[in-house]
Chain A
Amino acid sequence: MFRLEQRPQPSKTMLYLTPVIAVLATMIVGAALFALLGIDPGSAIYLLFIDPFVDSYNLSQLFVKASPLILIAMGLSLGFRAGVWNIGAEGQFIVGAIAGGAVGLALWGTEGWWILPLMAIAAALGGGLWAMIPAVLKIKFNANEILVSLMLVYVAENFLAQMVQGVLRAPDGMGFPESRNLGRNDATSLPDVFPALGIDAGGVVMLVLLALAFFLLQKHALGFQIKLTGESSRAARFSGVKPGIIIAVCLGISGAAAGLAGLFELTGAAGKLTIDFPVGYGFTAIIVAFLGRLNPVGILLAGVVLAGTYIGGENAQFQLQLPAAAVTVFQGMMLFFLLGFEILINYRIKRLRRAV
């Protein structure tokens, strides 16, 4: 029999090495999986992990995919550090896009530099308020925020379906359920800033916010309180931290970040609201947050790696006929190894002698 025993002094080096080891383990086990599927593992690993970062077209798509993941994961990581589990970023992403998109559509035909910032504010408010629902229910009634935030994703999806069927539907779209194309309209489309890496104005905002999050966690009292709450809620309470405020702040920030990501997706890559607008960034960002060790720099790297596997996964599909599900399994494996190895940093396996 075996038992997990807490290590007295978890290794700091290993703490930073685990994501790398997890990625390597994913590559090895993934390669075996691909071999079993009858696909050349070398080419598959190359397409998934290297080609996205060396091919110029793939590079130009990297942050198109990475920016929303990083922005959402950044917001989520604050809550995760404090033990506030917002699983509904996908819903906040949708509501943010609807709120921001509605502003853009209402101002259709108007020109002005102020339109996009206004849409961004509306999106952050929309996402933030949507996240306030689980926050208030948690604070007032101690309702589980995991369940409430997750369930609100489905509500948001139906809300989106109603909106694109109704008030936000394009008048010249022949009745199809989609909005006008905000990405093809000068006043409402995000300008490119560094197209070689796929960074548009939204990507720049994402990087600035990431730097702010870094500052918040390192230097600011609020960051300290968030970390303290996560490490020991009792200690936090004794030192005067109000748990209700931490819950509201964490859900509010993560909701606003997800809402902004929704707007950037809408005014950048996607262009218009459709029923299929959400593609799961809000859920994948949870993987990114943990893969990045809830640390802003780590999240940046993790977002880029995961975005690469998406882009590479598409290439691997049509070049090697790798099934789409295999790519998803691959991404799930990465999180599994990360969490698994994390246990081994904090605990060691001890063999128990059977009592005679």
Chain B
Amino acid sequence: MKFTKTLAAAAAMGFALTGGAMADDHPVKAGFIYVGPIGDLGWTWTHDQGRLAVEAEFGDKVETSYVESVPEGADAERVMSQMARSGVDIIFTTSFGYMDPTINVAADFPDVAFEHATGYKRADNVSTYSARFYEGRYVIGEIAGAMTETNKIGYIASFPIPEVVRGINAAYLAAKSVNPDVEFKVVWVYTWFDPGKEADAANALIEQGVDVIMQHTDSPAAMTIAEEKGVYAFGQASDMSNFGPNAQLTGIIDVWGPYYIERVQAVMDGTWESTDTWDGVQEGMVGFAPFSDKLPDDVRARAEATIAALAAGELHPFTGPINKQDGSVWLADGEVADDGALAGLNFYIEGIDGELPN
């Protein structure tokens, strides 16, 4: 009995050694923590594309690993700790809800670099990064304003947080600039990913006469409904034209690869330090899916010009005069919103109907 126990323990040790053994001049190890499954074709999928870009760039000089569908909170903290303990050099935590867990775990592992997406808390070994998605929303808002015939644009919104409110405002500004009669109908679904609810919201919007749908949720459900009902929609996070070959006009693409490559390179060079990155069209973090051939030439040309202006840094979507919903002045003529104001944006601008929840 005792002998078999010893044997089992020895076998266990053997596993542990093969599992944990590492070469001395080891490649840089990068870990990724995902909130959804890599097959979500949206948010998590684009981050995983970024991870694959890192592998493609560095080949065997880098080793990447990931854990998918990690709940935010206690589980996230454990997974990060386990990853850090396994000898990973840099960990990308790719959801807002990982903010506190990232800060907590980073304090225990001062030699590991942490990169938290979309948060606002930093530390000596914690950087934050996000993309100026509102620039993308400005472009598709302009297209939506030009393409709607009913002058009603539907917007499937997740939560009334600054990130989402900013997108609605940017899209409305752009739509209004090309179509003064445009009207926005916003539905709050209180989820980032729930195909059922997103589809219900799309159907409800279409019944209200909406003929272009925008979304700030992650699944392609609204796109499939748009295809079915013959209205237009935009891809979210990735190209969703497979789900709506006729419906998709273009889409906002999250491009994380170049940033991930840059940060892993910094770890290799020993130059990594804590930074706060908010990149947009100009830096290439926000990209666009191919334009549908349903776009008339003038709409396409204007969208391309807008993208070019954003890329050149000549256009800022939030340039005054812009009033708040209640008519009070937010930005004076020519005034550009600063990043701090944008980060905390919690009101609708003038012209948007309906009340922002809370």
Pairwise interchain contact A161-B190, C-beta atoms closer than 8 A: yes
B31 to chain A, nearest CB (A): 6
For B161, list chain A residues within 8 Å (CB).
Answer: 174-177
Report B184-228 residues with CB < 8 Å from chain A CB.
190-191
Smallest Cβ-Cβ distance to B34: which chain A residue: A324
- B interface footprint on A307-330 (CB within 8 Å = 1, 0 otherwise): 000010011011101011100000
- B interface footprint on A156-191 (CB within 8 Å = 1, 0 otherwise): 001001100110010000111110010000000000
A97 to chain B, nearest CB (A): 12
- Cross-interface CB contact of A181 among B16, B31, B37, B100, cutoff 8 Å: B100
Pairwise interchain contact B346-A315, C-beta atoms closer than 8 A: no
Pairwise interchain contact B81-A43, C-beta atoms closer than 8 A: no
Smallest Cβ-Cβ distance to B74: which chain A residue: A269
A70 within 8 A of B: no
- Cross-interface CB contact of A274 among B16, B73, B191, cutoff 8 Å: B73
**Could you tell me the distance between the alpha carbons of A274 and B120 in the complex, rounded to whole angstroms?**
17
- The stretch of A46-54, A116-124, A253-261 that contacts the partner chain: A46-54
For A194, list chain B residues within 8 Å (CB).
Answer: none
**Binding site secondary structure of chain B:** mixed
- Cross-interface CB contact of B79 among A54, A175, A314, cutoff 8 Å: A314
A152 within 8 A of B: no
Pairwise interchain contact A43-B190, C-beta atoms closer than 8 A: no
A135 to chain B, nearest CB (A): 28
B96 within 8 A of A: yes
- A interface footprint on B57-85 (CB within 8 Å = 1, 0 otherwise): 00000000111111111110011011101
**Could you tell me the distance between the alpha carbons of A279 and B71 in the complex, rounded to whole angstroms?**
7
**Could you tell me the distance between the alpha carbons of A58 and B82 in the complex, rounded to whole angstroms?**
8
Smallest Cβ-Cβ distance to A277: which chain B residue: B73
- Cross-interface CB contact of A51 among B16, B83, B160, cutoff 8 Å: B16
For A276, list chain B residues within 8 Å (CB).
Answer: 71-73, 97
Known contacts A165-B190, A177-B161; A318/B65 CB under 8 A: yes
Can you list 24 residue pairs at the A/B interface with Cβ under 8 Å? A43-B15, A50-B12, A50-B15, A51-B16, A161-B191, A165-B159, A165-B160, A165-B357, A174-B120, A175-B160, A176-B161, A181-B100, A268-B74, A270-B74, A271-B73, A271-B100, A272-B100, A279-B75, A314-B67, A317-B66, A317-B67, A323-B68, A324-B67, A325-B37
The 10 A-B pairs at the shortest CB distance, nearest first, are namely A269-B74, A318-B65, A46-B15, A279-B71, A161-B190, A270-B73, A317-B67, A324-B69, A324-B68, A276-B72
- Cross-interface CB contact of B86 among A64, A169, A319, cutoff 8 Å: A319
For B86, list chain A residues within 8 Å (CB).
Answer: 318-319
B125 to chain A, nearest CB (A): 19
Report A271-312 residues with CB < 8 Å from chain B CB.
271-272, 274-277, 279, 311
B344 within 8 A of A: yes
Pairwise interchain contact A46-B19, C-beta atoms closer than 8 A: yes
Interface residues of A (CB under 8 A from B): 42-43, 46-47, 50-51, 54, 57-58, 61, 64, 158, 161-162, 165-166, 169, 174-178, 181, 265, 268-272, 274-277, 279, 311, 314-315, 317-319, 321, 323-325
**Could you tell me the distance between the alpha carbons of A51 and B11 in the complex, rounded to whole angstroms?**
12
Which interface class (under 10, 10 to 19, 20 to 34, 35 or more) fits B?
35 or more
For B65, list chain A residues within 8 Å (CB).
Answer: 318-319, 321
**Could you tell me the distance between the alpha carbons of A271 and B97 in the complex, rounded to whole angstroms?**
12
B90 to chain A, nearest CB (A): 13
Known contacts A57-B85, A181-B100, A324-B69; A158/B74 CB under 8 A: no
Interface residues of B (CB under 8 A from A): 12, 15-16, 18-19, 31, 37, 65-75, 78-79, 81-83, 85-86, 96-97, 100, 120, 159-162, 190-191, 343-344, 346, 357-358
Pairwise interchain contact B190-A315, C-beta atoms closer than 8 A: no
Pairwise interchain contact A274-B67, C-beta atoms closer than 8 A: no
A342 to chain B, nearest CB (A): 28
Smallest Cβ-Cβ distance to B83: which chain A residue: A318
**Could you tell me the distance between the alpha carbons of A47 and B12 in the complex, rounded to whole angstroms?**
10
A158 to chain B, nearest CB (A): 7
For A58, list chain B residues within 8 Å (CB).
Answer: 82
For B120, list chain A residues within 8 Å (CB).
Answer: 174
